[in-house]
């Protein structure tokens, strides 16, 4: 394929050289003539493992050249990769100035082109940037329509400085956020044959994926460092601890617990987090990440409560009460906390949980619920239908088959989904349905 790459920094230079190394005809574009001269001389404008040798090889073979002329690059390519920087402003906001300028230039060049061209944004940008800002700029400056006259794709990169060439040829995944299928079709051949699953998704999903990845990477590093600081203060070998931690591929290094849902609870997680943070503080170790896990959990619970208040309705049916499915354990259940808040604000509440029977609750489980919901017996219903008949708002905290079977009969009642019900994607289009985090 004939490809132009805009921006010859780390991402652009590596992308251009690697695509040329895969047999594509590549033109690099940059406003800095020094970078252009370096590439045309077979020298990489960045320091990176393997990039020098690869650049020299593909320039020598004629597969890669560079220019400052945008119109020339567009005229001699079918796909353009935009790899310019999106630096942070002093307040932390994202600067899209370079992206806007490049898209204006590309759009102007597209105005004089007869064949369909596909613009691929590789730069990191927040959801809404492409469809709300860059796409309209391209349409305005070109006089063309995205998805009709030109293709538009967001294709985030997952390249680590220091190993970016290796990462390009051995990606964990390829994400193609496509404006329309034809746009995505134009990008698929760029990565054909590379390892890793290919995800063809809506453009905002692709934009957000890069942020989710980097936020999690930062969180992992911070988590490991805080555990290490606590271990050192307590005289424990942190690397031995993490060796054991990392060996668990079922719960720790796995997809477990990484699906957005309701707040966590139960007799272990809150208690152990409090205990660990307390131990850190006693040892005079600051652990801001671990210290804010429980407040973050509380914030998620508050979001659920606010969804109820926004309905303006007072009769609430709560489906689910225990802290997780398949148990009657109510200790530190976020649903109990939610019920307590609703009652405290005067809501008329009825509850159904097929696993919870007041007569069967014993020991600390019963003591806990009697201290939080002393009138639980008056709130519990015998059936889903009884709660449904009472409710103006159905607050769904359980995937109990009886609950799932009854919800299609909810009529015009508001359904607030805390568990991501089956068919949530379809339900999102219904005015009566509200998802907690989706």
Which residues form the catalytic set? 268
Is residue 263 classed exposed, middle or buried when 0-12, 13-18 and 19+ CB atoms within 10 A define those classes?
A: buried
What does the block give as tokens for 421? 């019900």
- Looking at residue 422, the DSSP 8-state letter turns out to be T
Tell me the helices (H) and strands (E) count for the chain, helix number first. 20, 13
Structural element, H or E, at residue 66: strand 64-67
* Count of C-beta atoms within a 10 Å radius of residue 102: 24
Residue linked to tokens 């695509």: 19
Question: Cα–Cα distance between 302 and 393 in angstroms, integer?
Answer: 17
Q: How far is CA 150 from CA 69, 102, 103, 111, 142, in A?
A: 20, 16, 13, 10, 10
Query: What's the burial of 229, exposed, middle or buried (CB within 10 Å: 0-12/13-18/19+)?
Result: middle
């Amino acid at each position: 394929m004939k490809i132009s790459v805009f921006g010859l920094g780390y991402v652009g230079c590596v992308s251009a050289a690697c695509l040329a190394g895969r047999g594509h005809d590549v033109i690099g574009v940059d406003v800095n003539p020094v970078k252009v001269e370096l590439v045309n001389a077979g020298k990489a404008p960045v320091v990176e493992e393997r990039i020098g040798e690869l650049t020299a090889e593909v320039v020598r073979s004629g597969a890669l050249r560079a220019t400052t002329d945008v119109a020339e690059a567009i005229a001699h390519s079918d796909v353009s990769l935009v790899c310019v920087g999106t630096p942070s402003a002093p307040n932390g906001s994202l600067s899209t100035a370079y992206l806007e300028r490049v898209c204006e230039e590309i759009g102007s060049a597209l105005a004089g082109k007869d064949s369909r061209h596909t613009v691929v944004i590789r730069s990191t940008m927040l959801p809404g940037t492409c469809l709300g800002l860059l796409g309209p700029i391209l349409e305005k400056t070109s006089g063309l329509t995205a998805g009709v006259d030109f293709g538009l794709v967001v294709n985030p990169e997952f390249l680590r400085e220091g190993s970016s060439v290796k990462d390009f040829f051995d990606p964990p995944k390829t994400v193609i956020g496509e404006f329309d299928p034809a746009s995505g079709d134009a990008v698929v051949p760029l990565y054909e044959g590379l390892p890793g699953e290919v995800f063809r998704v809506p453009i905002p999903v692709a934009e957000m994926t890069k942020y989710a990845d980097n936020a999690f990477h930062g969180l992992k590093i911070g988590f490991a460092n805080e555990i290490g600081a606590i271990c050192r203060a307590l005289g424990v070998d942190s690397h031995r601890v993490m060796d054991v931690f990392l060996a668990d591929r079922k719960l720790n290094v796995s997809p477990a617990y990484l699906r957005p849902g309701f707040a966590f609870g139960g007799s272990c997680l809150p208690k152990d987090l409090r205990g660990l943070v307390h131990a850190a503080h006693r040892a005079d170790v600051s652990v801001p990440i671990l210290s804010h896990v429980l407040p973050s959990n509380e914030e998620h619970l508050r979001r659920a409560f606010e969804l109820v208040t926004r309905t303006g309705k007072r009769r609430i049916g709560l489906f689910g009460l225990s802290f997780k499915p398949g148990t009657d354990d109510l200790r530190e259940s976020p649903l109990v906390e939610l019920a307590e808040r609703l009652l405290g604000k005067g809501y008329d509440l009825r509850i159904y949980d097929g696993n919870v029977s007041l007569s069967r609750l014993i020991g600390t489980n019963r003591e806990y619920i009697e201290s939080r919901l002393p009138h639980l017996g008056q709130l519990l219903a015998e059936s889903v239908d009884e709660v449904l008949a009472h409710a103006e708002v159905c607050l769904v905290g359980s995937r109990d088959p009886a609950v799932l079977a009854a919800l299609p009969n909810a009529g015009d009642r508001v359904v607030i989904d805390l568990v991501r019900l089956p068919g949530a994607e379809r339900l999102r289009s219904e005015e009566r349905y509200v998802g907690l985090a989706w």
